[in-house]
Copies of this chain bind each other. A is one copy, B any other.
């Protein structure tokens, strides 16, 4: 495997040591557990926001911990869930008396462990509410949307939740706004190659040169169909069509757009795709209020891209456009 690591067992902890070395003024770990990652600047009295999930997706998940965004993140092994105990420990640290929102992707291991941690936290008199992001339209039909998995669209939810908490809104309001953002977020992606999980050492799945999997998940979960690799404009049309049909967008709607590279797709190509998105939305008279173009939720060195749209109203727009600053994500 053409990768730079020492040994697979230490992969996550050595990565975390590097991150703590890099940003000592901004983040730290709690309870002698490198995998309980928190902001050093948790604002007194603020609603806490905790996320978590498997490693291998940087800047997801920990990269969104910081000013105006999240307060804590629990880190699992590559593509594995953190434990309920780690979530509880992180919750106790970030809780400032105003309660804590859990915000994570809709994957069974994460759902189970966040759920268990929430029960334990309630027993310690910490008020916890939960949202499991399920923005990937390719992962289940609309009538089974509770089964949809979370992908890069969770970044919109982090942004809204973080800004709402930063504005010192109470837990129920932070929850309401974030839930509204979740209901108005849709994503879909395409994968062109597999990635290698360090402990396994070989590609998770095989894709032939010249093929693509439309709707594949960020761990290699099956998508809508596998077929011949098409031109970027056609791929973009197909993704946008599924997104726009799933949540009927109206003329004059305002949206935020996120174009996410999965790992090895050159940044150049994300802009070729964004160019086509602009054209498509123009014909629909949908206005782009803000864009994010880069790597926001990766899958190690997987090739491919995902597109996420957040439909905005006045209050979502207000929180989306507020500034934030983490070691991995700065919005002015």
Contact = CB atoms under 8 A, between A and B. Distances in A.
Contacts of A16: 271
Interface stretch (A7-15, A116-124, A151-159, A162-170): A7-15
A19 B271 contact: yes
A262 to B, nearest CB: 10
A283 to B, nearest CB: 14
Given A22-B291, A266-B301, A273 B4 contact: yes
A200 interface: no
Interface stretch (A93-101, A102-110, A176-184, A227-235): A227-235
B267 A264 contact: no
A305 interface: yes
Contact of A272 (B4, B266, B272, B273): B4
Contacts of A18: 270-275, 278, 293
Interface in A266-324: 266-275, 278, 291, 293, 295, 298, 300-301, 303-305
A265 interface: yes
A303 B2 contact: yes
Protomer copies: 2
Contacts of A274: 18, 21-22
B15 A265 contact: no
B275 A17 contact: yes
Contact of A275 (B14, B209, B229, B264): B14
Given A19-B271, A22-B293, A4 B265 contact: yes
20 contacts: A1-B209, A2-B192, A3-B269, A4-B232, A4-B235, A5-B231, A11-B268, A11-B272, A14-B272, A15-B271, A15-B275, A16-B271, A18-B274, A21-B278, A22-B293, A55-B268, A264-B264, A264-B301, A267-B295, A330-B332
